[in-house]
Amino acid sequence: MVDPDCIFCKIAGGEIDAEMVHEEEDIVAFKDINGQAPTHVLVIPRSHVPNLEAMADLPDSVAKRLLEVSSEVAGKLGVDQSGYAVRINNGPDAGQEVFHLHLHVLGGRKLGMP
């Protein structure tokens, strides 16, 4: 499923340019244009899933693959040895701004918890 009004669906579908780091059939990863760390990549399913509660709509293999791709991206970008964070903001009070499930892969500096 794709939401024609969703910016992340448009990026996954190639309608909007992004600096892609990883692409495969069900998942893409691209650099965040408003990065909060030297390495800040968003990993998303190509299917529109608005939040964690709707994640059950994804096949289990895709849900698992989101985490695997996050780890692969960290390795590809060289932050896997020093450490990186994988974060999901779920809902407006948690800072979710785009309502398409996405994992933030952050690294390249010391990270703390808010």
- Answer yes or no: is 1 within a domain: no
Q: How far is CA 25 from the centre of its chain?
A: 15
Q: Show which residues are catalytic.
A: 102
pLDDT value of position 113: 82
pLDDT value of position 33: 93
Q: 75 and 113 in contact (C-beta within 8 Å)?
A: no
- Answer yes or no: is 24 within a domain: yes
CATH number for 82: 3.30.428.10
pLDDT tens digits for range 8-36: 999 999 999 999 999 999 999 999 999 99
Q: What is the largest CA-CA distance in the chain?
A: 38
What whole-number distance in Å separates Cα of residue 57 and Cα of residue 49? 7
- Answer yes or no: is 78 within a domain: yes
pLDDT tens digits for range 50-69: 999 999 999 999 999 999 99
Total number of domains in the chain: 1
Range of the domain at 101: 7-107
